[in-house]
Amino acid sequence: MEPGTPVHVAMTKWGDRPHWEFDGVLLGEDEHGEWIGFPRGTHNHRPGNEFRSAVDCVTLVRPGAWHLPTFQAPGIWCDLYVDVTTPAVWDGTVLRSVDLDLDVIRLPPEPPTGGPPAPWDEPPVGPGGVFVDDEDEFAEHQVALGYPADVVAAARASCDEVLAAVRAGAAPYDGSHRRWLDELSRRGAAPSA
């Protein structure tokens, strides 16, 4: 696909249960993988929930990786949200992956003023901190949804790898995404309906 191609992200939960869906634009590729942009105002929806993105963000699709990192522009409660997933695959212009519950989240170095509220009363770590979310959901779904042992092992290994890389500030968690946020801004992409 060429940069500028409109794309659709269709996430599911295990067993082909619907999860988050949203539209974006392919921005390009670098040594880390392919970058997809989602402008502020992008409509995110899943059964029983929907919202519009408060800031621009970019997602990195790394070949064969069991995670999808999304880097947020400043102004909301997190600056990095990494979904642990099955390896994402392209189906034409649709990116498909299965969300495996675990998330690695980094808070911004300075708490934002305004913007959407954080999903908790008290943050689990201080400004700039990194933590793993939804461990309880992951444990529950291993039984309730019947995750195979190899999927559980791959998800756990990916989560541990990402957590260590983010804490160390290793690429691509070293600011590599800023180029792509700038590219999204330069394109002036309109939010999806």
Give tens-digit pLDDT for 145-182: 999 999 999 999 999 999 999 999 999 999 999 999 99
Q: Give the pLDDT of residue 10.
A: 98
The yes-or-no verdict on residue 183 having pLDDT over 90 is yes
Q: What is the pTM of this model?
A: 0.94
More confidently predicted of 25 and 190: 25
The yes-or-no verdict on residue 119 having pLDDT over 90 is no
The yes-or-no verdict on residue 189 having pLDDT over 70 is no
Q: Give the pLDDT of residue 191.
A: 57
Q: Give the pLDDT of residue 188.
A: 78
Q: Give the pLDDT of residue 112.
A: 82
**Parallel, antiparallel or unpaired: strands 67-72 and 43-46:** unpaired
Specify whether the CB–CB gap between 70 and 56 falls below 8 A: no
Which of the four pLDDT bands, split at 50, 70 and 90, describes residue 113? confident
Q: Tens of pLDDT along 68-104?
A: 999 999 999 999 999 999 999 999 999 999 999 999 9
Please enumerate in sequence order all residues whose Cβ is within 8 A of that of 100, keeping only pairs 6 or more positions apart, or say none. 14, 66, 83, 84, 85, 86, 138, 141, 147, 151, 155
Fold of 6-183: FomD barrel-like fold (2.40.380)
Residue 54 DSSP class: S
Q: Give the pLDDT of residue 97.
A: 98
Q: Give the pLDDT of residue 116.
A: 77
CB neighbours of residue 81 within 10 Å: 19
